[in-house]
Amino acid sequence: MMYSKNVSVILTTYNGAAFIEKQIRSILDQNTHPDEIIICDDKSTDETVPLLSVFINNGPIKLFINDKRLGVVENFKKAAKLAQRDNWLVFADQDDIWAPQKLTRLIDEMALIDDGSTPALIYSDLSIIDKNDAVISESFWAGQKIRPEKIKLATLLYGNVVTGCTMIINYPMAEEFFQMDDPNFLHDEWLALVAYSFGKAKFLRDRLVFYRKHESNVTFPEDYKVPGFKDSIKEDVDHLSGKKRFLPHEFNLAKAFLLKYRSRLSHKQTDIIEHFLKQENKNYLLQRIRRRITFK
């Protein structure tokens, strides 16, 4: 059965004055307009709030200013909870620019997979721009050698590829977000595991977000670059010598996810996660071989 819901954009801000106006305008200029735009500011100390205040009477914008700093994930959670119940939720970062067709594409696709009860998530590719809006990379997936058709629970355990600023989720998935209570993990990596285990996931090859790469980015700061050959050799040496652990964050995420959701996972899904966790203390070369086999 196909459902069609109203849509809430949830946008969080913190000292985002440099780029927030362009992002807001790109959301307001969508081919399909959102029913509401929930903005939660995390006690900015720059001109973010005054700039946002100009837009309050412009369409569906609702601005909330936190009494204390919440941090990225809890601020997004607050914004999601303030959205109208049962709405589809679309995540937005403060410094990106949306392609005009973003909401239309996400809404059309979510209408095809949302059954009203199963947690569902749709995500897309994105382009990367610099602080002057110049395109650095046409396709994030191509640059990172991400093949979305190969993504499954077993591969996601080795590292998340579902970018939060490209996502739309249904309300059952939002309820999983509300129950997320570990501050060590990001919402996109957690919800991706939900979607690829007992939920539904779909990817779009469209590049629906111009993701801004600059010095204040949480995910990809301005000086971030894809590791080269020399970087990879150094990483291997550090892992082989025991100087660095292999995928410590990913192993901790898998443990927390299994602890919370074991009763909702199938036997096969539980086995996949447990098999991954058995690799934690193995020899580094064996860990690399197992990862390569998993991605085939």
Q: Report whether pLDDT(3) > 90.
A: no
Name the residue with tokens 């009477």. 57
Spans of all domains in the chain? 7-212, 229-294
* Distance in angstroms (rounded) separating the CA atoms of residues 181 and 66: 19
CA atoms within 13 A on the CB side of 12: 21
* Distance in angstroms (rounded) separating the CA atoms of residues 126 and 135: 11
Q: Report whether pLDDT(250) > 80.
A: yes
DSSP secondary structure letter of residue 43: -
83-128 pLDDT per residue, tens: 999 999 999 999 999 999 999 999 999 999 999 999 999 999 999 9
Cβ atoms of residues 97 and 113 within 8 Å: no
72-83 pLDDT per residue, tens: 999 999 999 999
Q: Report whether pLDDT(224) > 50.
A: no
Q: What share of the chain is helix, strand, coil (3-state, %, to 5)?
A: 40, 20, 40
* Distance in angstroms (rounded) separating the CA atoms of residues 259 and 273: 11
Kindly state the percentage of the chain with pLDDT values over 90. Answer: 80
Provide the 10 A C-beta neighbour count for residue 268: 9
User: How wide is the angle at C-alpha 293 spanned by C-alphas 230 and 248, nearest 5°?
Assistant: 60
CATH class of the domain at 7-212: alpha beta
Q: Which two tokens stand for residue 253?
A: 């995420």
Rounded mean pLDDT of the chain?
90
Q: Which residues pair with 97 in a beta bridge?
A: 210
Mean pLDDT calculated for residue range 149-178: 97
Q: Residue 198 — very low, low, confident or very high, per pLDDT cuts 50/70/90?
A: very high
pLDDT value, residue 231: 56
Q: What does DSSP say about strands 120-129 and 7-13: parallel, antiparallel, or unpaired?
A: unpaired
Mean pLDDT calculated for residue range 226-253: 65
Name the residue with tokens 């000292």. 15
5-59 pLDDT per residue, tens: 899 999 999 999 999 999 999 999 999 999 999 999 999 999 999 999 999 876 7
* Distance in angstroms (rounded) separating the CA atoms of residues 72 and 186: 8
CA atoms within 13 A on the CB side of 76: 23
205-223 pLDDT per residue, tens: 999 999 999 665 555 554 4
User: Taking each helix axis from N to C terminus, what angle separates 171-178 and 72-82, rounded to the nearest 10 degrees?
Assistant: 130
pLDDT value, residue 184: 93
Q: Residue 243 — very low, low, confident or very high, per pLDDT cuts 50/70/90?
A: very low
* Distance in angstroms (rounded) separating the CA atoms of residues 192 and 107: 18
* Distance in angstroms (rounded) separating the CA atoms of residues 87 and 6: 5
Poorest-pLDDT segment among 7-11, 55-59, 148-152, 183-187:
55-59
Mean pLDDT calculated for residue range 176-182: 96
SS3 string, 118-169, reads: CCEEEEEEEEEECCCCCEEECCHHHHCCCCHHHCCHHHHCCCCCCCHHHCEE
CA atoms within 13 A on the CB side of 73: 16
For the whole prediction, is pTM greater than 0.85? yes
pLDDT value, residue 291: 86
